[in-house]
Structure 1
């Protein structure tokens, strides 16, 4: 189930994958996929299942197929570090994408811009559209609403009997919306919202406003 919201007069659809569609621009926003991280962990002996690599690409395909966007904007940390076998998988994935694709560079995006440009991805340091500022790191800038990633926000839901569920979330605070990490095995920063903030947790099937 998708959650529809308005931010500074623009309409957005929050998807359980962690992606967000900007309706007016038909732009799909995705943050912190961290492709290559699973292969990196496995290379150094971590017990991460091989099929998690395929799950990242399958999830990307599902959300693109669902929205059929005209543009896709990755809000940083698309690839986790240096080139590995997942880059070849990404090149293959890009061959089936008809949308215009751009990457707002994040701190983990160390692969040469030439590699991205060769597969049709435009590289930018930030993007300003209307009165929205799209960045990787959270940034407060006067007269702009900030859409960003980087923090991998998560929220702990507490129930009776000391039960607790930990979920990824979209986190709106003031003039800023922080998207959850899209990728598998990315970790979370557990937020403590303030009065007036909004927290939209995501499960495998729905987005739920909990705060």
Structure 2
């Protein structure tokens, strides 16, 4: 799905990311890497291999778009340093793009860890031309790419059937990305008349509102 914002061209990918053509940047949000390690450490049974799967998804995304930089819109990791972080470190060695992190509420590791992972921390807000990047939605007049809400939309069919789909959600100046990670949960959007919603279904992005 291609969209135009302020004369800039963006691809909304079915891989739950945005590709900014003029900059050759990828924007994505809420990976929550190493979440399963954090939960298992505290005795909560969750499937293993989630971080490995997310990193494979990310690698496929990089191969598809060949970006020069990646901007993670918060919650790259789920918690403190653990073995999932080391898995990312080994994977990161093979990636040549610049990685940038807009800090989210889960990005709590010491700055030295991010330096070792070759991740450039950009604070909680980062301005690029007429666009502002953040983790949670903000209101300042500029178009704001963000995450945090894990948006989804519920589609209704016949016989009371329903299906919840991850989506890109554009309300006023906020353009909210779906969670890239797995095992993250989602928040079903209640749309207003002027909202734009782009759902991800069957390996494609479709505008449903």
Per-residue CA deviation, residues 2-35 of structure 1 (Å, 9 max, x unaligned), is x111112211111112111111110000100000
1:204 Cα deviation (Å)?
Answer: 5.2
1:44 Cα deviation (Å)?
Answer: 2.9
SS at match of 1:146: strand
Change (3 A) 1:205 1:127: same
Determine the structure 2 residue equivalent to 1:48: 46
2:21 to 23, 39, 48: 23
Determine the structure 1 residue equivalent to 2:139: 140
Q: 1:30-109, aligned counterparts within 5 Å?
A: 30-109=28-107
SS at match of 2:140: coil
* TM-score, structure 1 normalization: 0.95
1:148 Cα deviation (Å)?
Answer: 0.4
2:167 to 169, 172, 195: 169
Determine the structure 2 residue equivalent to 1:130: 129
Cα separation, 1, equivalents of 2:40 and 2:208: 35
Query: RMSD of aligned C-alpha atoms?
Result: 1.1
Q: Once structures 1 and 2 are overlaid, which stretch shifts more, 197-206 or 151-160?
A: 197-206
Determine if the alignment matches structure 1 residue 4 to structure 2 residue 16.
no
The 8 Å contact of residues 17 and 204 in structure 1, kept in 2 or not, is answered as: no
Cα separation, 1, equivalents of 2:42 and 2:56: 25
Off by >6 Å, runs of 4+ in structure 1: none
Cα separation, 1, equivalents of 2:202 and 2:58: 14
Cα separation, 2, equivalents of 1:8 and 1:46: 46
Determine the structure 2 residue equivalent to 1:194: 192
Unaligned runs of 5+ in 2: none
Per-residue CA deviation, residues 138-177 of structure 1 (Å, 9 max, x unaligned), is 00103x1110001100110011111000111100111120
Unaligned runs of 5+ in 1: none
